[in-house]
């Protein structure tokens, strides 16, 4: 039997393998709500423009409601022979209301239909992610405020560099997530145009009102070029790119958490809720959630690569290749939401081990730069010379197995007589961090100011999900 939706010119049905490779219903049924929304908007517009009759329109709308109920209570039978969500719904509509169902597809094609459905789905996913990212930022802000003055070692090359505050370290992630949200917001804005009514590729001769359907679906406006409308998947690519960068940020923090909770570091303790035990080693508390967040960037970045490769070299307008757009997106965006939620939970419950962090902050001569800066400021030395003198002081400390603030002033004076008692004021880690008050610096005072600034910003900026269109 040939396909009942488009089989007019076909004598036989497809080969079993053809059906298998062609069908997308297994995954695009996730678009049912968006497909129904698009059909409702299209149907109302067709009636308003007198393209179809009022009674047919009402029958269609009632049928769509009944179909929605069937899908939601799982009594709807999805058929692979009907290929995709669009034809599954339309075929069921025909069973329910008869020939009037055939009028719904007037001035429409599956090409603009799927582009519309997919945009709506991605838009919702962006809104979900944005709300989750805002929650993560709040978790960071609360922890950063609490630990604005908690000292930890700052690293470069994962070598102890200079002391920083734990709050400052966390605020670095607030900045990153802020940029991530900005990327999603930008993507959402460009996404928010309606392809519905572009039809197969060239538009339609029916007197449709694309502005009306755009508005009904919460889009800012209709897309301006019908060829572009059905062949564009930038919105999906951009969202995957934003998701990839965001997931990559999360993987960096995840890695830090894994390192921080290892016994030699012992900087933080994760809660029981976000760790697992070992079946053989009773002492273990493994940071599995952090490890999984660290790993999941792989599939998100993979999704971006997949879709970019699908789209590369495709001629205008629609090609069936584009059916391969959905699975990577359906996997990647919810995966990101899950990672963000896991990170938020971990961050809320995480308890820093202030003693261990502070001890580590003092190791590795982390205040050497403070000494060099002091020599510049108080001794009038050029920085390069101060750097050299400080190197000799570090060597003395190192040779005698002491920290910088354990050397006597006399010992340091013997290296350079421009050093005096006042130097003691800069060699402790607490003094070091408190002194770094340059804009964007690590001083506790700065951290508190940044927390305030971000709280104001988060209060002001409504999440994109709240404003449709």
Active site residues: 157, 278
Q: Please list every residue from 231 through 270 that binds ligand ARG, using CB under 6 A.
A: none
C-alpha torsion sign, points 87, 93, 94, 99: negative
* Residue 464 lies near ligand ARG (rule: CB under 6 A): no
* Residue 323 lies near ligand ARG (rule: CB under 6 A): yes
Q: Tokens 């069908």 map to which residue?
A: 23
Tokens of 253: 């923090």
Stretch binding ligand ARG (CB under 6 A), from 184-192, 307-315, 317-325, 394-402: 317-325
- Rounded Cα distance between 399 and 133, Å, is 48
Binding pattern for the stretch 26-45 against ligand ARG, x by CB under 6 A and - elsewhere: --x-----------------
* Residue 24 lies near ligand ARG (rule: CB under 6 A): yes
What three-state secondary structure class fits 164?
strand
Q: Tokens 């400052």 map to which residue?
A: 168
Cβ 432 to ligand ARG shortest distance, Å:
59
Closest to ligand ARG by CB, 109 or 335: 109
Helix (H) or strand (E) holding 109: none
* Residue 91 lies near ligand ARG (rule: CB under 6 A): no
Angle between helices 234-260 and 110-146 (to 10 degrees): 30
Stretch binding ligand ARG (CB under 6 A), from 71-79, 108-116, 275-283, 386-394: 108-116
CB-based contacts of 52, cutoff 8 Å, min separation 6: 43, 46, 60, 103, 104, 106
Q: Which of 111, 162, 306, 367 binds ligand ARG (CB under 6 A)?
A: 111
In DSSP terms, which residues pair with 351 in a beta bridge?
Answer: 269
Cβ 86 to ligand ARG shortest distance, Å:
6
* Residue 322 lies near ligand ARG (rule: CB under 6 A): yes
Cβ 240 to ligand ARG shortest distance, Å:
17
Stretch binding ligand ARG (CB under 6 A), from 110-118, 148-156, 263-271, 452-460: 110-118
Binding pattern for the stretch 263-302 against ligand ARG, x by CB under 6 A and - elsewhere: ----------------------------------------
Cβ 25 to ligand ARG shortest distance, Å:
8
Cβ 33 to ligand ARG shortest distance, Å:
16
Q: Which of 260, 318, 330, 454 binds ligand ARG (CB under 6 A)?
A: 318
Closest to ligand ARG by CB, 84 or 130: 84
Cβ–Cβ under 8 Å, residues 198 and 211: no
Cβ 110 to ligand ARG shortest distance, Å:
4
3-state SS track over 11-30: CCCCCHHHHHHHCCHHHHHH
* Residue 84 lies near ligand ARG (rule: CB under 6 A): yes
Strands 221-222 and 193-194: parallel
- Rounded Cα distance between 30 and 18, Å, is 22
Instruction: Please tell me what DSSP assigns to residue 412.
Output: H
Closest to ligand ARG by CB, 24 or 213: 24
Cβ 42 to ligand ARG shortest distance, Å:
15
- Rounded Cα distance between 12 and 9, Å, is 9
Closest to ligand ARG by CB, 76 or 330: 330
Q: How many CA atoms lie within 13 A of 114 on its CB side?
A: 28
Cβ 216 to ligand ARG shortest distance, Å:
21
Instruction: Please tell me what DSSP assigns to residue 103.
Output: G
Q: How many CA atoms lie within 13 A of 419 on its CB side?
A: 24
* Residue 108 lies near ligand ARG (rule: CB under 6 A): no
Instruction: Please tell me what DSSP assigns to residue 153.
Output: E
Binding pattern for the stretch 42-81 against ligand ARG, x by CB under 6 A and - elsewhere: ----------------------------------------
* Residue 270: φ, ψ to 5°: -90, 155
Closest to ligand ARG by CB, 76 or 274: 76
Q: Which of 336, 373, 391, 388 is nearest to 125 (CA)?
A: 336
In DSSP terms, which residues pair with 209 in a beta bridge?
Answer: none
Cβ–Cβ under 8 Å, residues 173 and 122: no
* Residue 333 lies near ligand ARG (rule: CB under 6 A): no
Q: Which of 110, 143, 168, 169 binds ligand ARG (CB under 6 A)?
A: 110
Which residues of this protein are in contact with ligand ARG, per CB under 6 A? 24, 28, 84, 110-111, 114, 318, 320, 322-323
């Amino acid at each position: 039997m040939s396909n009942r939706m488009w089989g007019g010119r076909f004598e036989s049905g497809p080969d079993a393998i053809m059906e298998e490779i062609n069908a997308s219903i297994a995954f695009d049924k996730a678009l049912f709500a968006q497909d129904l929304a698009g059909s409702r908007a299209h149907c109302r517009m067709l009636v308003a423009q007198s393209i179809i009759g009022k009674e047919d329109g009402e029958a269609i709308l009632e049928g769509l409601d009944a179909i929605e109920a069937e899908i939601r209570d799982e009594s709807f039978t999805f058929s692979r022979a009907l290929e995709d969500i669009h034809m599954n719904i339309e075929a069921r509509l025909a069973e329910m209301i008869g020939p009037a169902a055939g009028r719904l597809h007037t001035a429409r094609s599956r090409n603009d239909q799927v582009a519309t459905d997919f945009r709506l789905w991605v838009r919702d996913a962006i809104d979900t992610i944005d709300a989750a990212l805002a929650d993560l930022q709040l978790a960071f802000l609360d922890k950063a405020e609490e630990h604005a003055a908690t000292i930890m070692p700052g690293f470069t090359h994962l070598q102890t560099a200079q002391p920083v505050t734990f709050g400052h370290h966390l605020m670095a992630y607030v900045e990153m997530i802020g940029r991530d949200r900005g990327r999603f917001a930008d993507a959402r804005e460009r996404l928010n145009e309606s392809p519905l009514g572009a039809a197969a590729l060239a538009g339609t001769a029916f007197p449709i009102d694309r502005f009306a359907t755009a508005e009904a679906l919460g889009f800012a406006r209709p897309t301006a070029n019908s060829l572009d409308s059905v062949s564009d998947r930038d919105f999906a690519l951009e969202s995957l790119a934003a998701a990839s960068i965001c997931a990559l940020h999360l993987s960096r923090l995840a890695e830090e958490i894994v390192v921080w909770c290892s016994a030699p570091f012992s900087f933080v303790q994760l809660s029981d809720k976000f760790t697992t035990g070992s079946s053989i080693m009773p002492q273990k508390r493994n940071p599995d959630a952090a490890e999984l967040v660290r790993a999941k960037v792989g599939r998100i970045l993979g999704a971006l690569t997949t879709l970019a490769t699908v789209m590369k070299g495709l001629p205008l307008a629609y090609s069936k290749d584009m059916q391969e757009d959905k699975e990577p997106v359906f996997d990647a965006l919810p995966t990101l939401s899950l990672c963000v939620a896991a990170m938020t939970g971990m961050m809320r419950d995480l308890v820093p081990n202030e003693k261990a962090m502070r001890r580590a902050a003092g190791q590795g001569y982390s205040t050497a730069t403070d000494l060099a800066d002091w020599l510049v400021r108080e001794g009038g030395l050029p920085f390069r010379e101060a750097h050299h003198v400080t190197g000799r002081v570090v060597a003395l400390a190192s040779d005698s197995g002491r920290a910088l603030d354990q050397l006597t002033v006399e010992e340091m004076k013997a290296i350079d007589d421009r050093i005096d008692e006042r130097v003691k004021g800069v060699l402790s880690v607490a003094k070091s961090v408190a002194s770094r008050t340059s804009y964007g610096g690590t001083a506790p005072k700065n951290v508190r100011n940044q927390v305030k600034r971000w709280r104001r910003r988060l209060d002001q900026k409504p999440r994109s999900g709240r404003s449709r269109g």
